[in-house]
A and B are shown apart, each in its own frame.
Chain A
Amino acid sequence: MSETRPESRLERFAARAVRPAGLVLLAVAALAGFMIARAPADVVQGVLYKILFVHAPAAFAAYLGFVLTAVGGALYLWRNDEQWDRLAAASAEVGLLFCTLNIVTGPIWAAGAWGKPWVWDPRLVVTALLWVTYLAYALLRSFSDEGPRAARFAAVYGIAGVLLIPLNYFAIDLFGGRSQHPENLQRGSLGVGIAGPFMAGLAAMLLAFVWLLALRVEVGGLRARADRRRVESLGREDLA
């Protein structure tokens, strides 16, 4: 067993992907920044609306992270392979980061555009609920002792958290909120000259997600290896 071999195939892949993903991210982010800066100002909102180039893609990345958390958890329960648990932990953390970005940028924009930072809007409330749910997920991880039990608990909670997303939508519907978010991103809902920068912003955000996730997965693998080596060296001392 070589000393420097990463923990698993997943982590090997992540370690190899970090650098290229980072470089591509740099290029795409620069391009997106340029395109967003050049995008026309809105007649009513001025430049304020440009925060949406960050806000909406962050939401996509957050949802992606939470779905990956459930997938990683389910794979862990199914295959009993630690690498999937580390994937779940990584995507929950990164997803929480993007969810926070989304929740912080939303009110900044809304304060200017709606006149109020926070209104009863279905998508807003569902996202806020998800944010709380994954905060609880993070707390659960930090409050349970490391090991297979903590991994199983986190997997169970991650799966329950994703089951919650459609239920939340029905609940908000029942509560009677009217969405002020655009229904979809189909052609036409993005104004002239905005679709390009928006897509560039989306690509940059998703690449940032991939890059951070790969980094976090790699760190998780390294940490697991360090733990194992510490245990091994303790065992050797006991023998000596």
Chain B
Amino acid sequence: MNVLRAVLWKDLLAEWRSRDRAPAMVVFALLTVVVLRFSQPAGTPAGDALAAPGLLWVAYVFAAVLGMNRGFAQELENEALSGLALAPVDRGWIYLGKALSNLLLLALAQLSTAVFFAVVFDVDLAGVAAPFLGVALLGAVGLTAAGTLFAGIAVRTRFREVMLPLLLFPLLVPLLVPCVQATAGLLRDGSLPEGALELLAVYDGVFLIASFLLFEYVLDE
């Protein structure tokens, strides 16, 4: 637990002092939203975009990948990653600390993107704010649970910026389907499709536990 708190504190402090990841994630997500708005056929009234829920999650995934890549890339400076690996502690807790800091940054990006998205696409997210935040949080937990593990792998390969999305995207489908379906349901009539939250919870649980155990083999000196 102490390890988790220490890693989380270190990440947040580093982020507060440099302020590079969070702004990059937010701006990138906003830009993605703008580009996606223009990807609609000309003349589509904003509120009519059928694909809106999916597009919102595309922006989230892009922001998450950007942030998580940086999260480990910064550990390469001064061999900080080796230092983490040498620490005589259970590496699962190091993983949870990194995942939690990634999650907080992603949640920040999600929140600001959602507001911007609701304006640009003219969808009523404010009306279903509470359940939507729940879905977004469950989705973010899954994104960071899987993403932090594979970011730890990607950072030690050649072409590391490219590797994370290549590894992560095929594994995200069972997470994104319930996220998009739930968001669409909320926007349509404020209801959640049956089974979506369960699948999200199962995905989060599976990847949190598996990553907690497997991170031991990802970090090395």
Contacts and interface: CB of A to CB of B under 8 A. Distances in A.
Interface of B: 146, 149-150, 153, 156-159, 163, 166-167, 169-171, 173-174, 177-178, 181, 193, 195-196, 199, 202-203, 206-207, 210, 214, 217-218, 220
A168 B202 CA distance: 12
A156 B193 contact: no
Given A156-B217, A160-B207, 4 more contacts: A129-B170, A133-B170, A160-B210, A171-B177
B153 A174 contact: no
Given A136-B166, A144-B158, A167-B199, A156 B218 contact: yes
Contact of A156 (B159, B181, B199, B214): B214
Given A77-B217, A136-B166, A163-B210, A170 B174 contact: yes
Interface in A88-137: 129, 132-133, 136
Contacts of A163: 206-207, 210
A76 to B, nearest CB: 9
Interface string A139-151: 1100111000100
Contacts of A56: none
B177 A175 contact: yes
Contacts of B206: 163, 167
B171 A164 contact: yes
Contact of A144 (B156, B178, B181, B193): B156
A161 B171 contact: yes
Contacts of B158: 143-145
A225 interface: no
Given A139-B166, A156-B149, A174-B193, A167 B203 contact: yes
Interface string A9-47: 000000000000000000000000000000000000000
Nearest to B153: A153
Chain A interface size, under 10 / 10 to 19 / 20 to 34 / 35 or more: 20 to 34
- The secondary structure that dominates the B interface is helix
Nearest to A161: B171
Interface of A: 77, 129, 132-133, 136, 139-140, 143-145, 149, 152-153, 155-157, 159-161, 163-164, 167-168, 170-175
Contacts of B196: 174
B153 A140 contact: yes
A152 B217 contact: yes
A160 to B, nearest CB: 6
Contact of A153 (B157, B202, B203): B157
A133 B171 contact: yes
A151 to B, nearest CB: 9
A144 B157 contact: yes
Given A136-B166, A156-B153, A157-B167, A171 B199 contact: yes
A164 B171 CA distance: 7
B170 A136 contact: yes
Contacts of A159: 210, 214
A143 B156 contact: no
11 contacts: A129-B170, A139-B166, A145-B158, A152-B220, A157-B153, A160-B214, A163-B206, A164-B174, A167-B199, A168-B173, A175-B181
Nearest to B196: A174
